[in-house]
Amino acid sequence: MTVQADPPARSGTMGHVAYVLRENPVTALSFALFAFFLGSALFGPMLVPYDPLATEAAIALQPPSAAHWFGTDSLGRDVFSRVIVATRLDLVISVAAVALSFVVGSVLGAVAGYRGGWTDIILNRVLDTIMAFPLFVLAMGIVAALGNSVANIIYATAIINVPFYARLVRAEVNIRREAGFTQAAKLAGNSDARVVAFHIFPNALPPMMVQVSLNLGWAILNAAGLSFIGLGVRPPTPEWGIMVAEGANFIVSGEWWLALFPGLWLMLAVFTFNLMGDGLRDIVDPRRRT
Amino acid sequence: MAGRWTAVGLRIAQSVPVVLGVVVISFLLTRALPGDPAVQFAGAAATPESIEQVRASLGLDKPLLQQFLIYCGDLLQGDLGQSVSTGRPVAEELASRLPASLELTLTALILSCAIAIPLGVLAATRPGSWVDQLCRLLVTAGVSLPTFFTGIVLIYVFYYLLGIAPSPLGRLDFIYLEPDPVTGFFLVDSALMGDWETWLGTLKQLILPAITLALFTLAPIARMTRAAMLAALSADYIRTARAAGLGRGKVLYGYAFRNALLPVVTTLGMVFSFVLGANVLVEKVFAWPGIGSYAVEALVVSDYAAVQGFVLCMALLFVLLNLAIDLAYSVIDPRFGTEAK
Amino acid sequence: MLSIKDLKVGFRTRRGEVEAVKGISFELAKGERLGIVGESGSGKSVTSYALMRILDAGGRIKAGEAVYSGVDLRRASERSMKALRGREISMIFQNPRAALNPIRKVGHQIEDVLRQHARATRADARQKAIAALEAVKIRDAEARYEAYPFELSGGMCQRVVIAIALACDPKLLIADEPTTGLDITTQKAVMDLVDDLVRARGMSSILITHDLGLAAQYCDRIVVMKDGAIVEAGAPGALFVRPSHAYTRKLVDATPRRGATLRSLLPEGERTALAPHRVSDDPLLEVRGLTKTYAGKSGPVHAVKRFDLTVRQGESVGLVGESGCGKSTTSAMLVRLMDASAGEILFRGTDLAAIPAAEFARHPLRPKIQMVFQDATDSLNPRHSARQSIAEPLKRMTGLSGAALTARVEELARLTGLPAHLLDRFPHQLSGGQKARVGIARAIAPEPDFLILDEPTAALDVSIQAVVLNLLADLRARLGMSYLFVSHDLNVVRLLCDRVVVMKGGEIVEVGPAERVMNDPASEYTRALLSAAPQAPAPATSASQAPAPATSTPQAPSAATPPAA
């Protein structure tokens, strides 16, 4: 992603990162957890002990054991293998949705924030209308209308996230529109487009990095929530939301492992992204440390 | 202050285009159904004749603009179409189920505000203390909780393991009689009747789903309260107040907290959005007979009129809540409407 | 009354404790008006916060003692401090608008203090608060009682802050940069008010300021601070005329005053001869009827009305006025960042006003008109190093690249006195003066003929201001540029400019040669501006010299006074 490709703006950045990580082991932990999830997504399907789709009625609903670490589900599938394999799908959905909304939101927000006037008013009205829906409900409506598919989950999640980026970029661009360095860039012979793209926008990146990390977690929650109520991903595809939904039916009879492990993994993934957000913000803005 | 009343009137007028936008989007969602909407609306057991009949009755053979006007006309008459699965008008079903959803949502919100705001204030006034650490942990953990998962864990612990919670099936155990509907809120209605046994039964059913929702909304409110309070405490006017010898209580609550409340109230709008969305999931987990579970049931049987009616209903509710928040804001902030926000 | 001995104040930071005040001692007698003068970072404000015990988190009094009327301010309990604050010692602050609670009526804020110190009951609080507002000469106090801070002007807000501070008749008033950010005429009104009230009530006062002239005018005794220590103390007259410490001397020299020359602002050893700048008779820029109108709520608002000006080649013109007078709008139009509503801007005969500002970036005349911005921090892109900032206009407009570009950037750094090893630093790693140099280097990079200086020294300490003004004069002599120097401070403008334009309410009220406007102002407004500016007494060495014109007159360029050293 472009965010990570951005070169460190200050020579003291590395020292500051080291300071933040040392001072705040929680942040270090979150980066380690992120590496773990990335590994699961990339290599998980090759490494898991069982085929996540293979059913075996004889060993249905077995509690966790040495052979099946997270137990088996009602069809005798290995829960551990399914949880690990699901990482890829959940990460792909959230990363794709966030990337899409990042790009679209940035462009819309930058144009509106810089041009102002009618462009700004119209964009704001459109964003207001999108934000007028409770976002998860809008996502439900969109997926229900467009049809049950992974791609539509991505689109729905992207659409409900666009306003966040557009507003953030708009605000960041707007406060810098009249800044001295913006005017200096114009005096240096830069066209308006160049001023926005190369002088103003890069300065909006730090707060956006935090938003990206928070939104990744939120996008996973959103996708899992949609699957939980039967939208989007369909069984038997392993996905955390569906697995929790399937496990929910067995919770009242005491088979806790079906819902617990996918739920824990989901929680851990969101937790990781949120912690990273705090860490990134601490790195970007040392004033927030009290 | 005449300017302020104008600003309030302007704010109310501003929700008109938003409502219009909401209606347009819901209309587009209805017409963007995959394949032939007529087939979808006609249901699974449709014959070619019945599909044509549905097409004509829905007005799908007319131009899009005309369809939109018909849609608006229907809306104005409170007509959201017929539910395929139950055969009853969608509007009627939503209206009968709305109080259940509202009772759950409001209880959860009150619960989370009652915990989150004091927590955020304490954390901000004692930075680095254990309260601050607790707040930080709760804030990060809270937003990471998938509501449907916390709900399930709570059911497992309090119903299956400890057996102190009633079975997670609806608003009231079948051993009680539903109170006479006055407000539709069981807690209020049973209290009005003086039927405290039913009141307790209602509370027992309500407590787990309300906690589930509250846990989820705790985080953003506590986080914002803490940040706003910290910002307010470092403001120049706090220094002035301290230099003038004002007492700690006056400085903290009279000066800092009232200013800190402004961004918190603004955040509530976002929190409502979260809570209304999470509501759907929690209702499904606890079989709560609100509009959320109605929508989920409708989704399962591809009852699109019901789903779209639900989306529109939620959006209108949310617009109304946002309006209420902004009006509350105008009461607290004397600057309301005098400068660009 | 107040006695401070060897006071040390420290702040916890991540690099350990930093000492902001390093053992200062001074005494304050009853009825005395003390001034604490120092540049930014000298520890002057921290000292006052320490006395009130309202230091920010992490700050504490490390050592020494501070005794007020027998009360040990370091060891007193929080409860007794609370009783002291507002009733015995009060404080007023800079940035008055922020110093008031934005969502509480100002009358209630005064009542809070009165009630806290039991000076009023519920019944008579309102009446006493109104009396307090009247005491600070707020007209129509009854109506103002109901106002919120955002409804009042900056000067009015400061009066309310003063009313809060004086509501309970304290014996000592600490004023921390009370007029920073206020216009010069408002500054005078506020300072006169404070002075009158303090004298009338027989109070003591401490004025904390960066402005030696202000302190000299309103204080009986001045303490000069540098890096957390007191370097000199004494009566203003003696301090100015015969400063004993080198730092005080530097500060006194650098303070612009009547009769000073550019070079005399510098420390004595650095006063080299100032090369003359040549002014030709050919007009470089002719502005005719320049107007900017905005659509306001109640009809059009004229930010600038029919502005006429001719700037000759090599000439420097000052544009002076208070905030909101239209000087910034005018300069934005002249530098082609803003479109004019009407009028023409003839630059060597080409009407620039006819070219939309949005297209001017690619115009061949773009390099010829450049600008140095007011706030060096705000005008440098935080993500660009000094080298990138200076290279940007060269890359875009001269097509230089590679070694030629590097060489040119380094040459510009040399010209502006920026050490080459600082070129790869980012703005936040540079000092205010260094950032100002980067801003100037960037502006002169494309070899402009016309340079607009928009308050280039407003954010700088006086000693740095002196250096930057001299640098600008040297560059002008060397490169032959014309300047339009925009400023609120006539004393500073006079030093650098041949002619001065005074603006008020979007219109020109006076134009004339700098010396004539200073010595014999034609308009009432210019006279008010001049009399409002605090006047520092001249130091001994400068006073003994014959006052010489700072710069040449337009027709007859002449060398400035030869340096004494």
A-chain CB neighbours of C423 within 8 Å are none
- Give the count of alpha carbons within 13 A of C540, CB side only: 10
User: Please, what is the end-to-end C-alpha distance for chain A in angstroms?
Assistant: 31
State yes or no: pLDDT of A251 exceeds 50: yes
Q: Would you state the structure tokens that stand for residue A30, as one six-digit string?
A: 């979150």
**Dist CA C286 CA C263 (whole Å):** 31
Give helix then strand counts, H and E, for chain B: 14, 0
Asked if C454 and C331 count as a contact pair (C-beta separation under 8 A), the reply is: yes
Give the pLDDT band of residue C197 (cuts 50, 70, 90).
very high
φ/ψ of C484, rounded to 5, equals -120, 110
**B62 at the C interface (CB within 8 A)?**
no
Strand partners, C344: C288
Give the pLDDT band of residue C390 (cuts 50, 70, 90).
very high
Residue C445's pLDDT is what?
A: 93
Contact: A184, C380; criterion CB under 8 Å: yes
Asked if C244 and C232 count as a contact pair (C-beta separation under 8 A), the reply is: yes
Contact: A188, C374; criterion CB under 8 Å: no
B-chain CB neighbours of C93 within 8 Å are 236, 239-240, 243
In angstroms, the Cα distances linking B182 to B192, B193, C334 are: 9, 10, 71
Query: Which domains, ranges and CATH numbers included, belong to chain B?
Result: 90-300 (1.10.3720.10)
Contact: C397, A189; criterion CB under 8 Å: yes
**Dist CA A89 CA B308 (whole Å):** 28
Residue A18's pLDDT is what?
A: 73
Q: Which residue of A has its CA nearest to B142?
A: A271
CA torsion through residues C536, C541, C544, C550, sign: negative
Average pLDDT over residues A161-182: 89
**C450 at the A interface (CB within 8 A)?**
no
B-chain CB neighbours of A136 within 8 Å are 274, 276-278, 280-281
Among C378, C388, C450, C455, the strongest candidate for a mutation testing the A interface, having the largest count of A CBs within 10 A, is C378
Q: What is the pLDDT of residues B225-275, one digit of tens each?
A: 988 998 888 888 998 898 888 888 888 888 999 899 888 888 888 888 888
The two beta strands, C507-513 and C499-504, are antiparallel
Q: Would you state the structure tokens that stand for residue C557, as one six-digit string?
A: 């360029």
DSSP, collapsed to helix, strand or coil, labels residue C152 as: coil
**A229 at the B interface (CB within 8 A)?**
yes
Residue C129's pLDDT is what?
A: 93
C-chain CB neighbours of B237 within 8 Å are 98-102
Q: What average pLDDT is seen over chain B? A: 83
Average pLDDT over residues C161-187: 89
Neighbours of B331 (CB within 10 A): 11
Neighbours of C542 (CB within 10 A): 18
ipTM: 0.83
Q: How many CB pairs under 8 A join B and C?
A: 84
Residue C126's pLDDT is what?
A: 92
B-chain CB neighbours of A241 within 8 Å are 146, 148
Contact: C54, B262; criterion CB under 8 Å: no
Contact: C378, A181; criterion CB under 8 Å: yes
Which of A218, A216, A209 is CA-nearest to residue A17?
Answer: A209
Residue C172's pLDDT is what?
A: 93
State yes or no: pLDDT of C555 exceeds 60: no
The secondary structure of residue A241, as a DSSP letter, is H
**Dist CA C172 CA A94 (whole Å):** 62
User: Rounded to an integer, what is the distance from CA C360 to the centroid of its chain?
Assistant: 32
Q: What average pLDDT is seen over chain C? A: 87
**Dist CA B326 CA B314 (whole Å):** 18
A-chain CB neighbours of C362 within 8 Å are 189, 191
Which of A4, A208, A178 is CA-nearest to residue A109?
Answer: A208
C-chain CB neighbours of B334 within 8 Å are 103, 105, 148, 150
Residue A286's pLDDT is what?
A: 43
φ/ψ of C102, rounded to 5, equals -65, -20
Q: What is the pLDDT of residues A78-122, one digit of tens each?
A: 888 888 888 888 899 999 999 999 999 999 999 998 888 888 888
Contact: B152, A217; criterion CB under 8 Å: no
Please tell me which of the candidates B250, B333, B338 has its beta carbon nearest to residue C116.
Answer: B250
State yes or no: pLDDT of A287 exceeds 70: no
Q: What is the pLDDT of residues B144-173, one digit of tens each?
A: 888 888 888 888 888 888 888 788 878 887
Give the pLDDT band of residue C145 (cuts 50, 70, 90).
very high
**C118 at the B interface (CB within 8 A)?**
no
The secondary structure of residue C150, as a DSSP letter, is G
DSSP, collapsed to helix, strand or coil, labels residue C93 as: coil
**Dist CA A219 CA A232 (whole Å):** 14
Among B6, B229, B233, B236, the strongest candidate for a mutation testing the C interface, having the largest count of C CBs within 10 A, is B236
Residue C560's pLDDT is what?
A: 36
Average pLDDT over residues C348-354: 90
- Give the count of alpha carbons within 13 A of A258, CB side only: 25
Contact: B262, C99; criterion CB under 8 Å: no
Average pLDDT over residues A25-35: 82
Which segments of A188-290 does DSSP mark as H helices, in order? 192-194, 201-228, 240-251, 257-284
State yes or no: pLDDT of B191 exceeds 90: no
B23-43 burial string, b = 16+ CB within 10 Å, else e? Answer: bebbbebbbebeeebbbbbbb
Residues 6+ apart with CB under 8 A from C485: C316, C317, C318, C319, C453, C493, C496, C497
The region of weakest confidence among A85-89, A268-272, B175-179, C28-32 is B175-179
Residue B201's pLDDT is what?
A: 84
Contact: A229, B296; criterion CB under 8 Å: yes
Q: What is the pLDDT of residues C291-303, one digit of tens each?
A: 999 887 777 888 9
Which of C464, C36, C538, C463 is CA-nearest to residue C242?
Answer: C538
Q: Would you state the structure tokens that stand for residue C305, as one six-digit string?
A: 């009305």
Q: Would you state the structure tokens that stand for residue B47, as one six-digit string?
A: 């014959």
Q: Would you state the structure tokens that stand for residue C249, as one six-digit string?
A: 């001397």
Name residues 258-287 of chain B within 8 A of C (Cβ). 258-259, 262
The Cα of C96 is separated from the nearest Cα of chain B by a number of Å equal to 9
Average pLDDT over residues A59-65: 78
- pTM for the predicted model, two decimal places: 0.81
Asked if A204 and A169 count as a contact pair (C-beta separation under 8 A), the reply is: yes
Contact: C380, A191; criterion CB under 8 Å: no
Percent of chain C having pLDDT more than 70?
Answer: 95
Q: Which residue of C has its CA nearest to B261?
A: C103
Give the pLDDT band of residue B41 (cuts 50, 70, 90).
low
Give the pLDDT band of residue A282 (cuts 50, 70, 90).
low
Question: DSSP characters for C26-74?
Answer: EEE-TT-EEEEE--TTSSHHHHHHHHHT-PPTTEEEEEEEEEETTEETT
Residue B37's pLDDT is what?
A: 62
**A42 at the B interface (CB within 8 A)?**
no
Residue A174's pLDDT is what?
A: 87
Q: What is the pLDDT of residues C483-506, one digit of tens each?
A: 999 998 888 888 899 999 999 989
A-chain CB neighbours of C428 within 8 Å are 10
**Dist CA A203 CA A201 (whole Å):** 5
The region of weakest confidence among A41-45, C94-98, C256-260, C363-367 is C256-260
Q: Which residue of B has its CA nearest to C80?
A: B245
The Cα of B38 is separated from the nearest Cα of chain C by a number of Å equal to 52
Contact: A267, B149; criterion CB under 8 Å: yes
Please tell me which of the candidates C105, C161, C167 has its beta carbon nearest to residue B240.
Answer: C161
The Cα of B110 is separated from the nearest Cα of chain C by a number of Å equal to 25
Q: How many CB pairs under 8 A join A and B?
A: 156
Average pLDDT over residues A9-34: 70
State yes or no: pLDDT of A288 exceeds 70: no
Please tell me which of the candidates B29, B152, B281 has its beta carbon nearest to residue A141.
Answer: B29
The Cα of B126 is separated from the nearest Cα of chain C by a number of Å equal to 11
Please tell me which of the candidates B32, B273, B308 has its beta carbon nearest to residue A146.
Answer: B32
User: Please, what is the end-to-end C-alpha distance for chain C in angstroms?
Assistant: 44
**C101 at the B interface (CB within 8 A)?**
yes
Residue C558's pLDDT is what?
A: 38
State yes or no: pLDDT of B130 exceeds 80: yes
User: Among all chains, which residue has been given the structure tokens 């804001």?
Assistant: B329
